[in-house]
Amino acid sequence: YDDRDGKIWMDGTLVDWRDANVHILTHALHYASSVFEGERCYNGTIFKSRQHSERLRRSANLLDMEIPFSVDEIEEAKYAMLKANGWTDAYVRAVAWRGAGDDMGVSARKNPVRLAVAGWEWGNYYGDAKMKGARLDIAKWRRPDPRTIPVEAKAAGLYMICTMSKHAAEDRGYSDALFMDWRGYVAEATGANIFFVKDGEVHTPQADCFLNGITRQTVIGLLKDKGITVHERRIEPTELADFEQCWLTGTAAEVTPVSEIGGFTFEVGALTRDIAETYEKLVRR
Ligand code: PMP
């Protein structure tokens, strides 16, 4: 993805895509001192843009980093990048990280915190599954105990097991993997939150040890507006056998139906289609 035309915003200026590089002794590359955002611009407007910029700054703070740009400045950077590339519909990726410093130790107080904003045109993250439903494997790894890592941060370090789990699932013919949490309850997929339907009510894991997605919060609001009961609670893996419908939510995933999780099957039903459509209308409003 490095050798192409386009512009990327880096530390306050727009640079050519090919020149958006970092040094090999970047602290983040060695010690995962990196946080990021995934956002989508629809018809020229980034959905919940400020909320994403605020989450980026909060994620950095949770890693003991202070981004040297305000929310307003991050907002300007995102739109400047989109304009420079001529995009009205694109995925937006902001990333903040510790750069190279005077030495290579773990301690990094003096290393500059850097910020870049890139983007690209990205269709639905799950491709065909948007219509037919995604098939998920069960991940071997678990979402970690919140006492072991700041789980509310959208931090690069939390994605190591996501890549490993996604690869393992793909190797077995699935499109993604479902994580259990450290206690063994249903948690989330490798880049999206999960919802289930049973008897006309919606059940979703309580976001107490994984990212409480902006799409997740939006979809819960939309369901409640429709008068549908939403239970945020601990979900046992044995309950997968009883749920009738299932979908994933995320900025990249939007609302993607799930047709199977490790042998348990779900119908791509009326409520799943309805909430996917309502979300689509909202983001393109
Ligand atoms: N969980 C993980 C691990 C993710 O990477 C994402 C995507 N950012 C989500 C959940 C959903 O978050 P959001 O709706 O804010 O995109």
Q: What is the ipTM of this complex?
A: 0.99
Q: Is the pLDDT of residue 285 over 90?
A: no
- Give the CATH number of domain 7-120; options: 3.30.1330.10, 3.30.470.10, 3.10.20.600, 3.10.580.10: 3.30.470.10
State residue 124's pLDDT score: 79
Beta carbon of 81 within 6 Å of any ligand 1 atom: no
pLDDT tens, residue by residue, 54-101: 999 999 999 999 999 999 999 999 999 999 999 999 999 999 999 999
- CATH 3.20.10.10 placement within the chain: 129-283
* Residues acting as catalytic residues: 154
Beta carbon of 205 within 6 Å of any ligand 1 atom: no
Beta carbon of 59 within 6 Å of any ligand 1 atom: no
Long-range own/partner contacts, residues 21-28 (CB < 8 A, 24 or more apart): 22/97, 22/99, 22/100, 22/114, 23/99, 23/100, 25/100, 25/104, 26/97, 26/98, 26/99, 26/100, 27/97, 27/98, 27/99, 27/100, 27/101, 27/108, 27/111, 28/97, 28/98, 28/99, 28/156
pLDDT tens, residue by residue, 159-189: 999 999 999 999 999 999 999 999 999 999 9
Compute, in angstroms, the gap from residue 279 CA to the centroid of ligand 1. 16
State residue 126's pLDDT score: 82
State residue 1's pLDDT score: 87
Residue whose Cα lies nearest atom 9 of ligand 1: it is 192
Residue whose Cα lies nearest atom 3 of ligand 1: it is 191
Beta carbon of 216 within 6 Å of any ligand 1 atom: yes
- What average pLDDT score do residues 8-37 get? 98
- CATH 3.30.470.10 placement within the chain: 7-120
Residue whose Cα lies nearest atom 10 of ligand 1: it is 192
Burial 70-87 (b: 16+ CB within 10 A, else e): ebeebbebbbebbeebeb
| Nearest C-alpha neighbor of 133 from the set 250, 270, 257 | 257
Quick one: which atom of ligand 1 is closest to the CA of 252? 16
State residue 129's pLDDT score: 75
Lookup result for tokens 């459509």: 277
Beta carbon of 250 within 6 Å of any ligand 1 atom: yes
Asked whether the beta carbons of 76 and 3 are under 8 A apart, the reply is no
Residue whose Cα lies nearest atom 12 of ligand 1: it is 213
Beta carbon of 192 within 6 Å of any ligand 1 atom: yes
Q: Is the pLDDT of residue 119 over 80?
A: yes
Q: Is the pLDDT of residue 131 over 90?
A: no
Q: Is the pLDDT of residue 128 over 90?
A: no
Top mutation candidate among 46, 55, 56, 193 for ligand 1, by most atoms within 8 Å of CB: 193
Half-sphere exposure of 108 (CA within 13 A, CB side): 25
The top-level CATH class assigned to 129-283 is alpha beta
Query: What does pTM read for this prediction?
Result: 0.97
- What average pLDDT score do residues 256-277 get? 97
3-state secondary structure string, 123-159?
CCCCCCHHHHCEEEEEEEEEECCCCCCCCCCCEHHHH
